[in-house]
Amino acid sequence: MDVKPRKIEITGLRKRWLISSLSPILIVLLLVAGTFCAGMANYYYNMMLDGLKTRATHASDYFNNYSMNTYASFYQAAATYTEEFAEKDYLELQFIGTSGKIILSSYGLTSGLSPGTSDITEALQTGEIRSYRGVDPLTGEHIMSVCAPLLFNGRPVGVMRYVTSMAAVQREILITAGVAVGLLMLCLVMVYVSNMVFINNVVEPVAEVTETAKRIAGGSYGAQMENHYRDEIGQLIDAINDMSTQISKGQKIKSEFISSVSHELRTPLTAINGWGETLMADTGGDPEQLRRGVGIILKESRRLTTMVEELLDFSKMEDGRFTLSMEQVDLQAEFEDAIYTYRELFKQEAIELSYDSGEEVFDPIPGDPERLKQVFCNVLDNAAKHGGAGKRIDAAIRGGEEGVVITVRDYGPGIPEAELPFVKQKFYKGSSKARGSGIGLAVCDEIIHLHGGTFTIGNAEGGGCVVTITLPRA
């Protein structure tokens, strides 16, 4: 049946996904935005500084070359230059003496004051252009200034200083930073939305799988999910559906197995119990009846023993304790022992068992003689049980390219083609009505597999079933 799971939230998965995906992206975006803002700020500052240095260099060269003959001519030229300074709306021009006080200023209000910035002192001391960026001691605002020394006879007699406010540049930097932060937030929102869409596409089917798995664990074997996906999620859903189907089949087979084993155990136990009571009540002591009763009890006891051994072997197979006691085995001798043992038994049921040993003599091979004998006996017993209606069984041993090949063929009705792929599965009995636990062939297949060989079952030409056992040579 199809199941519509209720939607459940997996907040932990969403949280882990968002943290693991957004954290590195956020760090990268912050680094990019910070680097961009720092680069833009540095670009603006350097552009301002280069502009101020260019003005200071040209102006100081003019004064040093043409206006420094006498102090009077210098002062007159400086006053005229200051008066006609065309950029006074956003740039202040100052002429400062060796004392550090302002002699002339394009603003006019700062004359006689001492700015006290490092660029003035350094320019007077070194005779080279120097710059300053920071807080103006006089006004308290952020400024950038450039001082160019004025030389007379090679010695600084003052400086020409250009000063500009940083407010406009800082405003541009803030705008740039705001744009960068806006783009960062936009990128984060886009990444968050795309991640939420993606994680929801993952979480919802995972939630369905979780809910269905809980239903299966609760006993709803065979529950199925609709698969609308063509990716790994779809493969997971297919795997869960297949698992649910297999569990349902396993439960059904298990129930059938328990029912079958109960019946199989009850039948010989009933026979043993019935004949035991009959013999106990037989006060006449009829030797023929006694012999017959004891024979039936022994036969049913052997059947019970075989079933119990198969169940024990199956239990060992399930928990990995199924092992072999390896030694050098005469495979042909072991197979012939099984042939001779069953030949007399089959005669009692009017079944002819023919054996072809061929002409090749086989060297001993590594193997477990008891387990191999178990396989041979099980195969012969199955041939009589399922193909006894043909009244004939052929057994042969031959040498092949892949090793020693043993075949056992009956002339019964054979196996339906639809059941052939499943006959070696545990508990599988198909349409057969023969008595048995349904695990004998599974045990045989495991034994031969552990010997490095192959165990195959198929229908023979002309009718009947043929079992082929291939074991590698030494």
> Do residue 120 and residue 252 come from a single domain?
no
CA pair distance 163, 464, nearest whole angstrom: 112
pLDDT at 146 over 60: yes
**According to the model, what pLDDT value does residue 193 have?**
85
State how far Cα 454 lies from the chain centre.
Answer: 35
| Token pair 């075989």: residue | 306
> Do residue 308 and residue 344 come from a single domain?
no
Strands 392-400 and 352-356, bridge-based pairing:
parallel
**According to the model, what pLDDT value does residue 130 have?**
92
Model confidence band, residue 200 (pLDDT cutoffs 50, 70, 90)? confident
Tell me the residue type at 70: T
Average pLDDT estimate for 354-378: 88
Average pLDDT estimate for 421-444: 70
> Do residue 97 and residue 57 come from a single domain?
yes
> Do residue 18 and residue 141 come from a single domain?
yes
The CATH number of whichever domain residue 271 belongs to comes to: 1.10.287.130
Radius of gyration in angstroms for the set of CA atoms belonging to the chain, rounded to a whole number: 51
CA pair distance 298, 381, nearest whole angstrom: 17
Q: For residues 84 and 156, is the Cβ–Cβ distance under 8 A? A: no
How many angstroms separate the Cα of 235 from the Cα of each of 3, 10, 197, 217, 245? 18, 20, 20, 20, 15
> Do residue 410 and residue 350 come from a single domain?
yes
- Cα dihedral value 250, 255, 261, 263, nearest 10: -150
Task: Name the residue range of residue 195's domain.
Answer: 1-223
Q: What is the DSSP letter of 422?
A: G
Average pLDDT estimate for 6-29: 71
Q: What are phi and psi of 123, to 5 degrees?
A: -65, -40
Residue of 449 and 221 predicted with greater confidence: 449
Last-in-domain residue among 316, 349, 375 = 316
Structure tokens at 374: 């178990």
Axis crossing angle, helix 71-83 with helix 11-66, rounded to the nearest 10: 130
> Do residue 98 and residue 21 come from a single domain?
yes
CA pair distance 4, 122, nearest whole angstrom: 82
CA quadruple 300, 306, 311, 312: dihedral sign: positive
In sequence order, what are the residues at sequence separation of 6 or more whose Cβ sits closer than 8 angstroms to the Cβ of residue 198? none
> Do residue 68 and residue 199 come from a single domain?
yes
The CATH number of whichever domain residue 65 belongs to comes to: 3.30.450.20
> Do residue 148 and residue 248 come from a single domain?
no
3-state secondary structure of 310: helix
Q: For residues 117 and 111, is the Cβ–Cβ distance under 8 A? A: no
Q: What total number of domains does the chain contain?
A: 3
How many angstroms separate the Cα of 428 from the Cα of each of 302, 421, 440? 22, 11, 10
CA pair distance 190, 192, nearest whole angstrom: 5
Q: For residues 129 and 115, is the Cβ–Cβ distance under 8 A? A: no
Average pLDDT estimate for 248-267: 70
> Do residue 302 and residue 194 come from a single domain?
no
CA pair distance 146, 116, nearest whole angstrom: 13
> Do residue 281 and residue 332 come from a single domain?
no
Q: What is the DSSP string of 218-245?
A: TT-TT-B------SHHHHHHHHHHHHHH
Average pLDDT estimate for 25-43: 87
CA pair distance 380, 350, nearest whole angstrom: 15
Last-in-domain residue among 223, 246, 265 = 223
Residue of 409 and 387 predicted with greater confidence: 409
* Helix, strand, coil distribution of the chain in percent, nearest 5: 55, 15, 25
Please state which of the ranges 60-69, 117-126, 181-190 shows the lowest mean pLDDT.
Answer: 60-69
CA pair distance 438, 424, nearest whole angstrom: 9
**In-domain check, residue 167:** yes
**In-domain check, residue 322:** no
> Do residue 457 and residue 375 come from a single domain?
yes
Model confidence band, residue 8 (pLDDT cutoffs 50, 70, 90)? very low
How many angstroms separate the Cα of 292 from the Cα of each of 166, 278, 279, 288, 289? 121, 11, 10, 6, 5
Give Dmax (Cα) for the chain: 164
**According to the model, what pLDDT value does residue 240 have?**
83
CA pair distance 90, 171, nearest whole angstrom: 15
Tell me the residue type at 242: D
**In-domain check, residue 96:** yes
CA pair distance 265, 300, nearest whole angstrom: 10
**In-domain check, residue 430:** yes
Helices (H) and strands (E) in the chain, counts: 9, 12
CA pair distance 279, 38, nearest whole angstrom: 108
> Do residue 203 and residue 175 come from a single domain?
yes
Last-in-domain residue among 316, 341, 366 = 316
**In-domain check, residue 119:** yes
Q: For residues 52 and 144, is the Cβ–Cβ distance under 8 A? A: yes
**According to the model, what pLDDT value does residue 405 have?**
93
**In-domain check, residue 321:** no
| Token pair 């060796």: residue | 98
Question: How do residues 207-257 score in pLDDT, each as one tens digit?
Answer: 777 788 888 777 777 778 777 777 777 788 888 888 888 888 777 767 766
For 161, the enclosing helix (H) or strand (E) is strand 155-165
**According to the model, what pLDDT value does residue 7 have?**
47
**In-domain check, residue 102:** yes
Q: How many CB atoms lie within 10 A of CB 150?
A: 26
The CATH number of whichever domain residue 372 belongs to comes to: 3.30.565.10
Structure tokens at 415: 């196996």
CA pair distance 364, 200, nearest whole angstrom: 64
